[in-house]
Amino acid sequence: MIWYISYTVIYFILMFAMGIYYFFKIKTYDDYLIGSWNTGFWPIVGTIISTWCGAAVFIGWMGMGFTVGLSGFFKFALPGILFSLLLIIVFASPLRRQQLYTIADLFGERFGGRAGIIPSLLSAIIYSVPTLALQIVGLASIFNITLGLETNSAIILSFLLMLGFTILGGLPATIITDALQSIIVIIGIIVLAITSLNYAGGLENILANTPAEYVSPLGPEGLSEILLYALSVGPFYVVWQSTWQRIFASKSEEVAKKAGITGFLIAGAISFLPFSIGMIARQYVPLDMHPDLIFSYVTAELIPPAIGGIVFLGLMAALMTGATSFILQGSSNLTRDLYQRLWNPDADNKQLMFVARGAVVAISVLGVIVAFFVTDIATAYQWALRLSATVLLFPFLAVMFWRGITKKGMVWSMVLSVIATIGWPFMNIPIDHTVFGFSVSIISMVIISLLTNHDKTEQVRPVYWEDLDSANKDN
């Protein structure tokens, strides 16, 4: 246990030293939430890798590899990577030129301040809170395994550490520490993969003793199921605000694109490993073990503490960076979209900094409440992804490309797709959940926009082609 304690103490000393440094360095609201649009290539690469490789990668995807095999990668991880690359390649330049803070900012600029309420609440409450709760529970499980802390005490400690670091350093500290932590994440998952491969007797032995459906990219369900899963997961990453924040934080369009592509390609390669480890674990782990316990079992049982501590440190780093990113995402929404746009448009820097840090506390408290009282956080997280994607994707694309979308078309599309997505389980409809939500979204948006006029608060413009000349100034 001494190894685990030593690694943990050293890690958090370094983290909070960085947080305290940035607490005194940060002077403005722009610095705190968006890094003043001035972050370089490698820090952006590192923060993308670290944010992507959170609790879902280490714990959830390893368990999925154990239960369904490699097809899990093609259902969940690969679609997310591909849609993230789509966001970077196609939309990084026009989004960066807007000098925004949040996805709701985009709707507020196009339709007027109140138009961003629904996407802001989706991002801040429906997505950020359960996702943060996952990170809290994940870090608590590490403290339980490595330090022997009781579960409730471990949850409280995790909450305090995540809140303390985020409220001190904001996005600048998060991005810098992410760049360093991404190295630990990569080393940890590679060490675990190599150890698991050797313990199971090598690749040839694994393939000989693993049922074909666990090795097949399509699994037992086939291509149609893979595509439906991809549709339910992938589109969310076009409107994932964590990636948007990295685009805005980059010091130029060129850095936003190159760093984004590099970061997600590396993250995609890393994402294949936990599914592989989970599949390999079927050779030596009791098959009735709960999937969420595979990571801790493999790490604690197969690797000596001196090395296993590094693997746990990799997960700890991934959880901390994911937590700070999701807290800051929710804080941005509450501060920028609700406080500044709706209640106090003339707020000065001091007021915005105070509200931003207050919002960090609010999101963190909601996250720990969910961690304590919601029994199935993973399902809540999946619902958050599905709801965010079905509500936001087509309105976002329309704002970017279609001059004809109206404020009423956008608002009613969001409202009706929320109702459709939440109500689907109670309807006897022979249509896939996500397909139904997307269908309601786009059909209602197009029809209502065609039947209504532009509101006087609108700026009637397709954002994608706006201010192209300003790109040269940015670079």
Q: What is the C-alpha to C-alpha distance for residues 147 and 150, in angstroms, rounded to an integer?
A: 9
- Please report, in tens digits, the pLDDT of each residue of the chain (475 residues total): 788 888 889 989 988 998 898 888 887 777 776 655 678 898 899 888 888 876 666 677 888 899 999 999 998 899 999 999 999 999 999 888 887 778 888 888 888 767 778 888 888 888 889 889 888 988 888 888 888 899 899 999 999 999 999 998 887 777 777 777 778 878 888 888 999 999 998 999 999 999 999 999 988 777 888 888 888 888 999 998 889 888 988 888 999 999 999 999 999 999 999 999 999 999 988 888 888 788 888 888 888 888 888 888 877 887 887 888 889 888 888 888 888 888 888 888 889 889 989 999 999 999 999 988 866 666 777 788 888 899 999 999 999 999 999 999 999 999 999 999 999 988 888 888 888 999 999 999 999 999 999 988 888 888 888 654 444 444 4
pTM reported for the whole predicted model? 0.85
pLDDT reported for residue 378:
63
Amino acid at 243: T
What are the two backbone dihedrals, phi and then psi, of residue 336, each rounded to the nearest 5 degrees?
A: -75, -50
CATH of domain 2-390: 1.20.1730.10
C-alpha dihedral (362, 364, 367, 372), degrees to nearest 10: -110
Give the long-range contacts of residues 196-203, CB within 8 A, separation 24 or more. Answer: 196/277, 196/280, 196/281, 196/298, 196/302, 197/280, 199/284, 199/302, 200/280, 200/281, 200/283, 200/284, 201/283
